[in-house]
C-alpha cells in the first residue's frame, strides 16, 4: 500500500513538473515562425507623442506592472536542433526592464521643431536597420527627450511581429494607458457593429416579405458569397504564380528590399472631417479612408509621371489600365468589449493574443477625376464586394495549410511572392476616443506601422480622440518624397470635403 501511495505521489509530482515546464516553454505558433523567416522578418514600430516631459522611472515601473505579466514579453526566443529539425520555442526568462528601455542622449538645445521632426524620422529610420537582440525578449521602448512640432517628448515602441499583430499592439496600448479624466478607468473604443450570422436584417426581411422571396434572397446572397470567394481565391492563386501589378514609381523590387533602411513619416488630420464625409455619403470611416487614399495616390502618381504643365491639368499623363493593388489587412477576431481587449495579455482572455490576421487584395482605381467623389464611390463599391467574400478567412487558412504542409521556408517563399506581386500594404486601426495617458504621460498621437515585408509602401491609419494619424513606411530608394504623398492625401481630403459641403448646402 505504501509503495502504491509513493508511486502515485511520484506520478503527481512528475505531472506537476511537466506542467511547469510547459508553462516555462512554449513552441512558436506557425505564424510566429513565419515572421522569423528571412523573407518575413517583420517588426511593429509605434511612435507615441507625449504632451509632457518624460519621467523614465514612472514608465519603467509601469512596464513592470503591466507588460511583465504577459509571457511573450518575458520570454526569449530559443532555437534547438532535434534530428536535423530546427525547433523554436519561447522560454521564460528573468527580464531586466531597464535593459529594454533605451534613453538616448540628445543635444536638444540646438534643435528647432522642424529639425527635431527630421531627427525623429532619422532616428526611427536607423532602428529599421538594427535587429532586436534575440538573447532577450523581442521588444524595446525608446524614450526621447525631444520636442517636436506635435509633441513635447516622444516614445518609440518596437516589438517583433512574432509576438503579435496590430490588434495585439492595441491591447498593449490599452493595458498600458488610462483615461486622463479618470486615471483608474480604461480607455474607450468606438462601438463597432458587425453583423452576425443571424442578422436582424434577414429577420426583418422575413417579416416584410413572403417566405419564398426571403428564401430566394438568402440563396442569392449565398451564391454571391460563394462566387466572390471563388473569384478571389483564383486571383490569389494567379497573384502567387504570375499576376503582377504594373511597374509604377511606387512599386519596389522585393528581391532588393531585404534588410533595407526604411523611412517612416506621419501626418495627423481631423477625424471630424472624415466623419462629415462619411455621414454625407452614407459610408463608413474605412470607406472614406480608402477613397481618399485612392485620390491621393492618383495625385501623387500624376506628379511622379511628370504631369507638370498647367494647361494639361484636366488631361492625365498617367498610363491607362494601371493595376495597383494593396494587401489590406483584416482582423479575424470576433467583436469583443473594451475589457476583453485590455485583458488580452492575461491568461484565459476571450480575445486571443497573437497573429490572427488575414488579408484581401484591394485594387485601387488610379485615375484623375473631375468629380473627386468618384474615388469614394469606386472605393466603396470595391470594398462592399470584398466584404461579401471569405477572402480574408481564406488567406488565413491557406497560410496555415502552407505552413503545415510545405514548412516555414517554402510557405514564406509562396506568401512573399504573392505579396511582392502587389504594390503596397494598407491597414486601419481604431483607437481610444478619449485622451489617454501612457504611465502618467498624456498622449498626443499614436503612429504605428510595420516593416520587413516586401513592399516599398505601407499606409497605416490610426484614430485617436478626434484625430486620424496617417503613417507611411516607405523604401526611400523608391519613394524619396513621402511627405509629398502625405500632402496629396491631405489635399484630396480637403477637396472631397469641399465638394461634399457644397452639395450639402445646395440641397
**For residue 321, what is the DSSP state?**
T
- Which among 123, 73, 81 has a CA at the least distance from the CA of 97? 73
> Residue 14 class from Cβ within 10 Å (0-12 exposed, 13-18 middle, 19+ buried)?
exposed
- Which among 391, 452, 460 has a CA at the least distance from the CA of 426? 460
Query: Mind giving me the DSSP string for 457-496?
Result: EEEEEEEETTEEEEEEEE-TTT-S-HHHHHHHHHHHHHHH
3-class state of residue 325 by DSSP = strand
Q: Which of 36, 160, 161, 441 is catalytic?
A: 161
Alpha carbons 484 and 21: distance in angstroms, whole number: 53
Distances (CA, A) of 98 to 63, 93, 133, 186: 10, 15, 14, 26
Q: Which residue has the cell 488631361?
A: 315
Outline where DSSP puts E strands in 321-479: 324-331, 357-364, 424-429, 436-438, 441-451, 457-464, 467-474
Alpha carbons 233 and 391: distance in angstroms, whole number: 7
Distances (CA, A) of 380 to 247, 286, 304, 466: 25, 9, 26, 23
C-alpha cell at 162: 512574432
Alpha carbons 161 and 138: distance in angstroms, whole number: 9
C-alpha cell at 351: 480575445
Q: Which residues pair with 268 in a beta bridge?
A: 469
Cα-Cα end-to-end distance for the chain: 92
142 is catalytic: no
What is the set of active-site residues? Answer: 161
Amino acid at each position: 500500500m505504501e509503495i502504491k501511495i509513493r508511486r502515485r505521489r511520484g506520478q503527481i509530482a512528475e505531472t506537476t513538473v511537466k506542467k511547469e515546464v510547459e508553462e516555462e516553454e512554449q513552441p512558436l505558433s506557425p505564424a510566429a515562425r513565419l515572421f522569423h523567416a528571412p523573407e518575413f522578418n517583420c517588426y511593429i514600430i509605434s511612435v507615441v507623442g507625449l504632451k509632457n516631459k518624460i519621467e523614465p522611472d514612472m514608465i519603467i515601473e509601469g512596464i513592470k506592472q503591466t507588460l511583465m505579466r504577459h509571457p511573450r514579453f518575458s520570454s526569449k526566443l530559443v532555437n534547438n536542433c532535434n534530428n536535423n529539425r530546427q525547433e523554436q520555442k519561447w522560454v521564460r526568462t528573468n527580464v531586466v526592464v531597464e535593459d529594454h528601455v533605451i534613453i538616448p542622449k540628445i543635444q536638444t538645445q540646438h534643435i528647432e521643431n522642424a529639425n527635431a521632426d527630421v531627427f525623429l524620422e532619422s532616428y526611427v529610420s536607423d532602428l529599421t536597420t538594427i535587429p532586436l537582440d534575440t538573447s532577450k525578449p523581442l521588444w524595446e521602448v525608446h524614450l526621447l527627450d525631444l520636442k517636436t512640432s506635435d509633441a513635447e517628448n516622444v516614445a518609440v515602441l518596437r516589438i517583433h511581429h512574432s509576438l503579435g499583430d496590430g490588434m495585439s499592439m492595441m491591447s498593449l496600448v490599452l493595458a498600458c494607458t488610462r483615461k486622463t479624466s479618470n486615471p483608474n478607468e480604461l480607455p474607450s473604443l468606438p462601438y463597432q457593429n458587425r453583423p452576425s450570422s443571424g442578422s436582424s436584417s434577414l429577420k426583418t426581411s422575413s417579416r416584410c416579405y413572403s417566405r419564398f422571396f426571403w428564401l430566394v434572397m438568402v440563396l442569392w446572397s449565398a451564391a454571391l458569397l460563394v462566387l466572390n470567394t471563388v473569384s478571389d481565391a483564383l486571383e490569389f492563386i494567379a497573384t502567387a504564380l504570375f499576376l503582377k501589378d504594373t511597374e509604377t514609381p511606387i512599386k519596389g523590387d522585393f528581391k532588393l528590399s531585404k534588410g533595407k533602411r526604411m523611412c517612416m513619416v506621419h501626418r495627423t488630420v481631423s477625424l471630424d472631417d472624415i466623419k462629415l464625409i462619411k455621414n454625407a455619403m452614407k459610408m463608413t470611416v474605412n470607406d472614406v479612408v480608402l477613397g481618399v487614399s485612392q485620390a491621393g495616390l492618383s495625385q501623387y502618381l500624376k506628379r511622379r509621371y511628370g504631369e507638370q504643365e498647367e494647361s494639361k491639368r484636366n488631361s492625365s499623363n498617367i498610363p491607362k489600365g494601371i493595376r495597383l493593388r494593396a494587401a489590406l489587412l483584416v482582423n479575424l477576431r470576433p467583436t469583443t468589449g473594451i475589457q476583453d481587449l485590455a485583458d488580452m495579455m492575461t491568461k484565459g482572455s476571450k480575445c486571443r493574443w497573437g497573429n490572427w490576421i488575414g488579408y484581401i487584395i484591394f485594387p485601387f482605381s488610379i485615375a484623375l477625376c473631375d468629380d473627386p467623389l468618384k474615388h469614394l464611390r469606386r472605393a466603396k463599391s470595391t470594398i462592399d464586394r470584398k466584404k461579401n467574400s471569405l477572402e480574408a478567412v481564406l488567406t488565413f487558412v491557406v497560410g496555415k495549410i502552407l505552413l503545415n504542409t510545405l514548412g516555414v521556408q517554402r510557405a514564406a517563399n509562396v506568401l512573399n511572392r504573392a505579396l511582392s506581386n502587389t504594390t503596397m500594404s494598407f491597414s486601419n486601426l481604431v483607437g481610444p476616443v478619449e485622451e489617454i495617458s501612457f504611465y502618467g504621460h498624456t498622449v498626443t498621437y499614436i503612429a504605428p506601422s510595420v516593416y520587413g515585408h516586401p513592399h516599398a509602401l505601407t499606409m497605416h491609419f490610426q484614430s485617436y480622440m478626434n484625430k486620424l494619424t496617417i503613417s507611411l513606411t516607405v523604401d526611400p530608394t523608391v519613394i524619396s518624397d513621402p511627405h509629398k504623398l502625405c500632402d496629396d492625401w491631405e489635399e484630396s481630403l480637403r477637396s472631397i470635403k469641399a465638394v461634399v459641403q457644397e452639395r450639402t448646402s445646395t440641397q
